[in-house]
Amino acid sequence: MNRIITFGTFDVFHVGHLRILQRAKALGDYLVVGVSTDALNFSKKNKYPVYSQEERREIIENIRFVDKVFYEHSLEEKRKYLLEYQADILVMGDDWKGKFDEFSDICRVVYLPRTPSISTTEVIEKIRK
């Protein structure tokens, strides 16, 4: 069995999020998703996501092909999460290209192209206008 792991905020969930999860799952049999906490977002970006971590987690948990969801409390704990969930492949969008190569000693690291022309920021901007 091939276990895939990926991480994200998944705020204001959109089709770009859905597609990366779908493409991640297609690389294996079991998909684990780390949803970043509100506190982690605040510490990195100085702002909270629009949707709470409970709401973001609930959405991800109810996607048919997602097998397991946990909270990502810290960016510095990736190695611990990869070991804990016995990940064979770490998948991230290519906005993170190169950033997680240090983990290639314990799993395959794959960066997938982002879905073009959609992001949480753009959705928020569109609604604002």
Contacting residues toward ligand C2G, per CB under 6 A: 7-11, 16-17, 20, 36, 72, 75, 92-93, 95, 114-115, 118-119
Give the shortest CB-129-to-ligand C2G separation in angstroms: 19
Closer residue to ligand C2G, CB minimum distance, 3 or 24 = 24
Closer residue to ligand C2G, CB minimum distance, 84 or 95 = 95
The three-class DSSP label of residue 77 is: helix
Give the shortest CB-22-to-ligand C2G separation in angstroms: 10
What pairing do the DSSP bridges indicate for beta strands 30-36 and 68-72?
A: parallel
Give the shortest CB-128-to-ligand C2G separation in angstroms: 19
Give the shortest CB-51-to-ligand C2G separation in angstroms: 11
Helix (H) or strand (E) holding 109: strand 108-112
State which amino acid sits at residue 78: K
Residues β-bridged to residue 6: 33, 91
What are the φ and ψ backbone dihedral angles of 21, each rounded to 5 degrees?
-65, -40
Closer residue to ligand C2G, CB minimum distance, 79 or 114 = 114
| H-type alpha helices, 62-115 | 78-84
